[in-house]
Each structure stands twice: as structure tokens, then as C-alpha cells.
């Protein structure tokens, strides 16, 4: 009887182990520079006032190496054109790029660049595939849309010592408030604060339209 | 000759000391709670999502004791009515209140409550009088106006772990970017970050309209 019970126990353990071996969802991490008044770019998408050198920027660039996937909206992708990027280029060559847009058309594109329609299910699917966490590369409109659908897991702001007064908001069209959990605070040169927050979706936020 | 030179030196030192004994201007300190997306209140002036207890709030309340003067705009003054304040009341009884507004009329007011027109010179005059630093108690419109005129010396944000998505901006109608100098970073309970910045007015910002 004792042997039988042990066998049953082992079988149950094996079944439990198999059940819990689901792949963890990949996190979407919105890693972005902001001013203290909540802008990720000034009027006219001007980003000149943000820090472009220093150990905080070095840290950011090093962190980007850990992502194998980047997602962005059309505005952010096209913003790259101002800096010499061509349509179809992959601005982060070591990452797979998913540009979520219902409008963007590319005649040809690097193999690591895909355009997806703005479809919540496609984002969920991407999160459930194998891979590293996913880098959300701005901007406000796409980030606001993801937030409204409960899809951003972490916000990592490079808080620049800067008032911009206007421009591109951290989240455009965000429809409700969200509480955050501060996970990390790091100080860098020139008064740059790096603050990492988990987004707490409570009371059914995650499915909110 | 050596004695003469020493005397001359002492005289010069005394003169220099007298020249520099001007009263330092009182600083205007904008001490305010913000969300990470740069709002000091949510839609409908909702402030429920901000921290209202904890050691960060205790610190803020203790710091307020050090100010003998508070300035605010009409919106902020009238905002107090929602919380039981009556027209003419002094919400910070130990401070002199200067409400800068061209519209507000009070039939009667506590002796420490004065209404001043929105006049830059009156703010400058107030800064040059004797007293502690001056507490700027929101809100966005008045703060933006002061910033545009180079009159805010320090911004002390109680950065709440919170996305508000919309509401009252930290600075409304700010007309240009301003660099800041991080002076202090303090961490409090519940993920509250207290960040103190000096506003750097460069290239003639201080007089900008």
C-alpha cells in the first residue's frame, strides 16, 4: 500500500510539473526617456534636449542588447527617417521588428521587419511566443493603445532633468489611471533618474477598451 | 609697505563684504505631487490616486511648516472649496496667502489672504521682501505662467507611482523647454520618489514672455 501511494504521489507530481511547464509570457517593457512633465519629445518631435551621452545612456544602450524583439507604432518607425533611416530598414539590427500600423506600407523591408495591423490579439500572440522580453520603442500613441488594452507590463523611464512644456506625451489617449509598483531606482550622471515600474492592472483593467 | 598693503587688503575685504550683503531673493518652490506622465491631478481635478498617507506625505507636511508664504492661482484656491474650504479662508493658517488672479473677488477674507493681479512685477517684489522661501501651491496654469516668466526657482516633485493619462498638467502653456539641475533624490514608502530640481534659466529665459 505504501508503495502504491508513493507511485501515485510521483505520478501526481509529474502531472503537476507538466501542467505548470507553460512558457511564461514575454513582458512588454516601455523603455523611454521622459521630461519631468511627461513628454517623450518636445514640440515638433524634438528630442535634442534629452541626454544623449553619459552613463545613463550607456546603460540604456547596453540594456537594448538583451532584447531580441522590438515593437513600435508607425509614427516611431517613421521618426527614424529623420535620422537617416530608410523605409524598410531595421533600426535595431539584432532585433525582430514588429511595426503595428493599419496604414504603413513598405515596398521592401529587411527580413527582420514586419508590419502587423493594430490588433490586440496579435500583440497577445507575440507575447506568448518564445523569446526575450519585448522592447516597446515609443511612442505615445501606440503606448497609449497598448496601455488601454492592458498589454504593457513594465515602464522604465529615463527621467531627464528637463521641462519640455509640450510635445509627445508618454501615453496618448490613455483612458484611465493605472497604479504602478516601483521596482528599481537608479541614479546616473547629469541628474538622470532611471525608474522601473510594473504596471498594476486591477479590477479588470487588462481588458479595458 | 607690508603693513600698508595689509591694511589695503583688509579695507577691500570689508568693502567687498558690504557690497555682497544684499538680501538674497526668496526662492519660489513648486512643491507638488505628479504622476509619471506629468499630471498633478487626473481628469475632473481628481487627486484620489495620489498617495495621501505614508512617510513621503509626512515629509511634505513637515516641510510646509518651513514656509511663511504661499502663492497660488485662482483655480487652486477655488479647488479648496471642494474640500470644505470657504471663500476667504486661509488653507495654510501659518502662511501669508497671495492669490494671483485678475478675476477672483472675495467679499471677506482672513487677514493672511490677499488677492493680487497677475503681474510679474508683484511676484518679483514679493520675492525681494524678507521671509522664508515661497511655497507655490499648484496648479498648472499659474505655474506655467510663472515658469514662462522665469520666476520658479525650484521644482520639488513627489513622483507618485501612477499613470493618470490626462488631467491637469504640471505646467500648462509652458512656452519653451527648461533644463533642470537635480539637487536631491529621496525615496519614500510605496514607491514615492521625491526629486528636487533647480530650474536653469539660460540664454535670457528669465524674461521670456
Element (H, E) at A29: strand A28-34
What is the model's pLDDT at position B9?
66
CB B145 within 8 Å of CB B202: no
In a domain, B198, yes or no: yes
Rounded to the nearest 5 percent, the helix, strand and coil shares of chain B are: 30, 25, 40
In a domain, B8, yes or no: no
Mean pLDDT of A166-191: 96
In a domain, A6, yes or no: no
In a domain, A16, yes or no: no
What is the model's pLDDT at position A171?
97
CB B61 within 8 Å of CB B39: no
From the list B37, B176, B182, which residue is nearest A38 (CB)? Answer: B37
Mean pLDDT of B160-174: 96
HEC states along A61-116? HHHHCCCCEEEEEHHHHHHHHHHCCCCCCCCCCCCEEEEECCCCCCCCCCCCEEEE
Binary contact (B37, A169; C-beta < 8 A): yes
Query: Is pLDDT above 70 for A90?
Result: yes
Query: Is pLDDT above 70 for B86?
Result: yes
DSSP code, position B51: -
Q: Which residue of B has its CA nearest to A35?
A: B38
Counted residue by residue, chain B has a size of 209
Mean pLDDT of B98-120: 96
CB B7 within 8 Å of CB A139: no
B88 min Cα distance to partner chain A (Å):
31
Mean pLDDT of A14-40: 82
Query: Is pLDDT above 90 for A97?
Result: yes
Separation CA A170–CA A206 (nearest Å) = 19
- pLDDT bin (cut points 50, 70, 90) of residue B175 is very high
Q: Which domain holds residue A31?
A: 26-207
**Does ipTM surpass 0.85 in this model?**
yes
Query: Is pLDDT above 50 for B207?
Result: no
Binary contact (A177, B37; C-beta < 8 A): no
What average pLDDT does the structure give for chain B? 91
Closest CA relative to residue B51, chosen from B37, B32, B78, B76 = B32
In a domain, B83, yes or no: yes
- pLDDT bin (cut points 50, 70, 90) of residue A95 is very high
Query: Is pLDDT above 80 for B193?
Result: yes
Q: Which residue of A has its CA nearest to B157?
A: A36
In a domain, A17, yes or no: no
Q: How many domains does chain A have?
A: 1
Computed on alpha carbons and rounded to an integer, the radius of gyration of chain A in Å comes to 20
CB of B136 less than 8 A from some CB of A: no
- pLDDT bin (cut points 50, 70, 90) of residue A125 is very high
Binary contact (A37, B38; C-beta < 8 A): yes
What is the model's pLDDT at position A208?
42
Cα-based distances in Å from B46 to A85, B98, B157, B168 = 42, 24, 18, 9
**Domain containing residue A48: CATH number:** 3.40.430.10
| H helix runs in chain A, sequence order | 2-20, 55-64, 74-79, 120-128, 140-148
Query: Is pLDDT above 80 for B85?
Result: yes
β-bridge partners, A114:
A98
Q: How many other CB atoms are found less than 10 A from the CB of residue B60?
A: 19
What is the model's pLDDT at position B205?
47
Mean pLDDT of B24-30: 95
From the list B49, B159, B197, which residue is nearest A161 (CB)? Answer: B197
Q: Which residue has the higher pLDDT, A14 or A84?
A: A84
Separation CA A137–CA A121 (nearest Å) = 19
What is the model's pLDDT at position B4?
63
CB of B15 less than 8 A from some CB of A: no
In a domain, B51, yes or no: yes
What is the model's pLDDT at position B78?
94
Report the Cα–Cα distance between both ends of chain B, in Å, rounded: 56
CB of A146 less than 8 A from some CB of B: no
B192 min Cα distance to partner chain A (Å):
8
Amino acid at each position: 500500500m505504501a508503495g502504491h501511494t508513493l507511485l501515485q504521489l510521483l505520478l501526481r507530481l509529474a502531472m503537476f510539473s507538466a501542467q505548470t511547464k507553460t512558457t511564461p509570457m514575454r513582458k512588454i517593457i516601455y523603455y523611454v526617456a521622459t521630461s519631468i512633465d511627461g513628454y517623450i519629445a518636445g514640440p515638433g518631435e524634438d528630442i535634442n534636449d534629452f541626454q544623449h551621452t553619459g552613463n545613463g545612456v550607456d546603460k540604456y544602450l547596453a540594456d537594448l542588447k538583451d532584447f531580441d524583439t522590438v515593437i513600435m507604432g508607425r509614427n516611431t518607425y517613421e521618426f527614424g527617417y529623420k535620422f537617416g533611416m530608410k523605409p524598410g530598414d531595421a533600426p535595431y539590427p539584432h532585433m525582430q521588428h514588429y511595426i503595428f500600423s493599419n496604414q504603413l506600407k513598405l515596398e521592401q523591408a529587411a527580413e527582420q521587419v514586419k508590419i502587423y495591423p493594430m490588433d490586440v490579439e496579435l500583440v497577445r500572440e507575440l507575447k506568448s511566443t518564445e523569446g526575450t522580453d519585448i522592447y516597446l520603442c515609443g511612442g505615445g500613441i501606440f503606448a497609449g493603445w497598448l496601455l488601454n488594452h492592458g498589454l504593457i507590463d513594465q515602464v522604465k523611464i529615463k527621467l531627464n532633468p528637463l521641462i519640455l512644456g509640450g510635445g509627445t506625451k508618454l501615453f496618448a489617449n490613455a483612458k484611465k489611471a493605472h497604479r504602478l509598483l516601483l521596482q528599481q531606482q537608479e541614479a546616473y550622471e547629469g541628474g538622470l533618474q532611471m525608474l522601473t515600474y510594473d504596471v498594476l492592472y486591477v479590477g479588470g483593467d487588462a481588458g479595458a477598451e
